[in-house]
Chains A and B, each alone.
Chain A
């Protein structure tokens, strides 16, 4: 170790797509400031450090570790524990490590069904012998080992203690830079850090606050999937029947998706004080369903509402698109035959 006295920065990926790494590089020329201030000690995407290097560092050697990706398998969990031990500040960076994100949608099915799809059923798969990855495989040269694949995808804070959360899929560059500035000020000038457990790089208001679209009282007679409708460019998307998670999602992104006609996906997570983003979204969206004046006949009412609800084909996958691992129920219940009940 060649210690140059600079604060040490690490970034590591687990179950993720790699977009978070790109988002860090996407802060443009500020990346030079990051390089000037920090000494990068582990960052598999851009620098050649090995696991042994990290294992060799003393505990707490890394000043800031940006950890992205969810906990999908035993290797992810081991790395989470290792980096927690070696880091002073551990940041759950991006939606996957904060609340599960897209990888955690597989909590809506079983591990067996996931393997079946990924290694057998997908149209591009050519696997006539039905070979599935094994934790141990004997080859003439010896035994090969792969990590255990867990049934349930977890967020980083369900495995180790997390100091800060930086939401987004991926986090937006101005927000990343704002957070890095706070950290740099703290490390170089002793400025105070936000309280532990804070959600940083985001706002405390909903995406709607940042969305310039015109909003009126909402009543929805049917929902549209994005390909079914050409949205009006100025009107609130939700009012047009496009499911937009903006009302149940923390702002800070600048409402980028709604501004280009795509309903908010919900990647910045629940608003402050909300435990379960999906439940809040469900509650809000159901209450504005409009079935017209059908009177008080209970059967007819129910039937009319069901017709509108039928235009939301996948409520769990839609409302928990990014927050499944952090939701109250966390996963689907698997029935005896190993398949999800929903299948």
Chain B
């Protein structure tokens, strides 16, 4: 495990073009500070987010994934954010089965006016992920990979023929 004290979480953030990306933009223009640990990727809509992207992010080394979009009822494409909400809830349930803590995946609704809130939520998420520690997925597969340690031989399991 990486040294906890030097651990800087890496969070991949997916934002929608119409609300949450503009919220991030507003946070920037208003010079609101938030941790640089988040890497934002702009999509046209949160509904564009294929769950594959989230899995790819975790597999590729992300410690957390933030999905953000317009508030329900405010989607530029009418109802795609509802679809995202449904996918998010089912994906979170599945990720728990994969051993990924639910706090590593967050859904945030942010309108274009909510720059301050966006910055605040990103800060909270980065701190949550920091306290969870590194995910380090490549190591999860490696350390559990093919060439596993030999099963230890216990004395009582010796067979007397």
Q: Do A and B originate from a single complex?
A: yes
Give chain B interface residues in 132-148, CB to chain A under 8 Å: 135, 137, 140-141, 144-148
> Contacts A137-B159, A298-B109 known; A283 to B50 CB distance under 8 Å?
yes
A11, CB-defined interface residue at 8 Å: no
Contact pick for A309, options B93, B135, B140, B146, CB 8 Å: B93
**A138-B158, A150-B146 known; A275 and B52 CB under 8 Å?**
yes
For B90, what are the chain A residues with a Cβ–Cβ distance below 8 Å? 282, 285-286, 289, 309, 312, 315
| A330 CA to B99 CA, complexed, in Å | 12
Judge whether B96 and A342 touch: CB under 8 Å. Answer: yes
Known pairs A152-B145, A309-B93; list 8 more (Cβ under 8 Å): A139-B159, A150-B146, A278-B94, A283-B51, A328-B52, A328-B55, A332-B97, A341-B100
A and B contact pairs by CB, cutoff 8 A, 10 listed: A129-B157, A139-B161, A148-B150, A154-B145, A279-B51, A305-B85, A319-B94, A332-B99, A333-B100, A342-B96
Rounded to whole angstroms, the CA-CA distance of A342 and B98 in the bound complex is 7
Interface: B86 (CB within 8 A): yes
User: CB distance B144 to A298 under 8 Å?
Assistant: no
Are B55 and A329 touching (Cβ within 8 A)? yes
- On whether the beta carbons of A276 and B157 are closer than 8 Å, the reply is no
Point out the residues of chain A lying under 8 angstroms from B137, CB to CB: 329, 333
Q: Which of A133, A279, A289 is close to B50, meaning CB atoms less than 8 Å apart?
A: A279
Given contacts A151-B144, A333-B100, contact A136 B153 (CB under 8 A): yes
**Bound form: Cα–Cα A108–B144 in Å:** 12
CA A307 to CA B23, docked complex, whole Å: 31
Of A136, A154, A302, most buried by chain B (CB within 10 Å of CB) is: A302
Residues of B within 8 A of A296 (CB): 71-73
The 10 closest A-B pairs by CB, nearest first: A333-B99, A296-B73, A341-B99, A316-B97, A151-B144, A328-B55, A286-B86, A286-B87, A315-B94, A279-B51
Q: Are A329 and B58 in contact (CB under 8 A)?
A: yes
Binding site for B on A (CB under 8 A): 71, 77, 108, 110-111, 129-141, 148-152, 154, 159, 275-276, 278-280, 282-283, 285-287, 289, 296, 298, 301-302, 305-306, 309, 312, 314-317, 319, 327-335, 340-342
**Do A334 and B99 touch (CB < 8 A)?**
yes
Residue of B nearest to A112 (CB): B151
**B101 surroundings in chain A (CB, below 8 A):** 341
